[in-house]
Structure 1
Amino acid sequence: MNQKRNVVLFIASSLDGYIATKEESLEWLFKVEGEGDNGISEFLDTIDTVLMGKATYDWIMEHEGGNSWPYSDKNCYVFTRSSIADTEQVKFISPDIQDFVSKLKKQEGKNIWMVGGGKLLYSFLKENMVDEIIITIAPTLIGKGIPLFNNGDYHLELLLKGTRRFNQFVELHYEVKR
């Protein structure tokens, strides 16, 4: 079984394009009435690898992780410029991102989740390493905060694969045109 592995950005955003407030709060997101888990469990079944930046890892550990890592059943890689010892659940890496992701995509397995954050996502977009984008839009305007997409030197054309509604949330699923 040699299925093509895709790198998928799966993320929630405010209607005006922010993933968090300036204070890194997601409180606005949790106030929105969703449906079930808004498709998260279904998505997690399609991946076996998780990629994220160190700031995103730190946020998860502070707000969700505690003593248990929420993605313990996945291969987890955290990109960092610091030298950090691996844990049982997470490997900290600082290789050439494009080379590392190319090797991952050649391995057998499920899709690869590009969790974030903004700097890492920018690198992925600039190098055209994202294959699919799934954005769940919350009916909230934040006005300012941490943007989903940073301004930068990239241009991607997308094809709409589908939409779904989870009560007040709308999911947009795009494929990157090649």
Structure 2
Amino acid sequence: MTQNRNVVLFIASSLDGYIATKEESLEWLFKVEGEGDNGYSEFYDTVDTVLMGKKSYDWIMKHGFEEFPYKNKDCYVFTRSTIEDTENVKFFSPDIPDFVNELKSQPGKNIWIVGGGELLHSFLKENLVDELIVTIAPTIIGKGIPLFKEGDYQLDLSLKGTRNFNQFVELHYEVKK
């Protein structure tokens, strides 16, 4: 258990900065030859809390995983709707900065922003992200759902490291505070 929990974005992107096609397809991602699980298991062991937006949650549920992929983590889904919690997920529409700062003050491992773009945008605007781990696929989509939305914010980053997973390149940045 660490004292200083970080909020970490861990995500894959096309070379031109998209996380999915307009139709929310990730098919392009699975056409790229990786190596093992491209660092996923190693990263997954560093987190005990997962945050995502409702669209990302719906995508996961629509794609018929045999079991909920984050069932052994505390999972919070941010939504503007009133939805009953499930065995694996707590649905929230809290004040994001207060909620995240409360999570960060509790003992535990890192906190993972799974997605999506809307939630990430809110986190970036509020300067709540501590690290970004973006794995770049050698694919150009041309249009789709952007990793970073246009907005009135700026983050200064420091490169912590790079790794290759066959055709993928992982870029690991720390946000300068």
Query: Normalized against structure 2, the TM-score is what?
Result: 0.98
Counterpart position of 2:59: 59
* Whole-Å separation in 2 of the counterparts to 1:29 and 1:100: 32
* Whole-Å separation in 1 of the counterparts to 2:117 and 2:2: 31
2:4 paired with 1:4: yes
Counterpart position of 1:27: 27
2:71 paired with 1:72: yes
Q: After TM superposition, give the deviation of residue 116 of structure 1 in Å.
A: 1.1
* Whole-Å separation in 2 of the counterparts to 1:64 and 1:166: 27
Counterpart position of 1:106: 105
2:14 paired with 1:14: yes
Structure 1: 4+ residue segments shifted above 6 A:
none
Q: Tell me, what secondary structure is at the counterpart of 1:55?
A: helix
* Whole-Å separation in 1 of the counterparts to 2:8 and 2:106: 16
CA gap 1:137/1:80 in 2 versus in 1, 3 angstroms:
same
Aligned residues: 177
* Whole-Å separation in 2 of the counterparts to 1:160 and 1:35: 22
Partner deviation per Cα, 1:155-174 (whole Å, 9 max, x = no partner): 00000000000000000000
Counterpart position of 1:117: 116
Q: Percent identity?
A: 78
AA partner of residue 61 (structure 1)? M
* Whole-Å separation in 1 of the counterparts to 2:166 and 2:149: 28
2:93 paired with 1:87: no
The runs of 5 or more residues in structure 2 that have no matched partner are none
Task: Indicate if the aligned counterparts of 1:18 and 1:144 stay in contact, CA closer than 8 A.
Answer: yes
AA partner of residue 130 (structure 1)? V
Task: Indicate if the aligned counterparts of 1:7 and 1:112 stay in contact, CA closer than 8 A.
Answer: yes
AA partner of residue 140 (structure 1)? T
**Aligned Cα RMSD in Å?**
0.9
Counterpart position of 2:170: 171
Partner deviation per Cα, 1:94-151 (whole Å, 9 max, x = no partner): 1100000000000000000011111111100000000000000000000000000000
Task: Indicate if the aligned counterparts of 1:64 and 1:70 stay in contact, CA closer than 8 A.
Answer: no
Q: After TM superposition, give the deviation of residue 153 of structure 1 in Å.
A: 1.1
CA gap 1:69/1:102 in 2 versus in 1, 3 angstroms:
same
CA gap 1:110/1:59 in 2 versus in 1, 3 angstroms:
same
Q: After TM superposition, give the deviation of residue 15 of structure 1 in Å.
A: 0.2
2:158 paired with 1:159: yes
* Whole-Å separation in 2 of the counterparts to 1:13 and 1:90: 26
Task: Indicate if the aligned counterparts of 2:2 and 2:109 stay in contact, CA closer than 8 A.
Answer: no
Partner deviation per Cα, 1:12-54 (whole Å, 9 max, x = no partner): 0000000001111000000000000000000000000000000
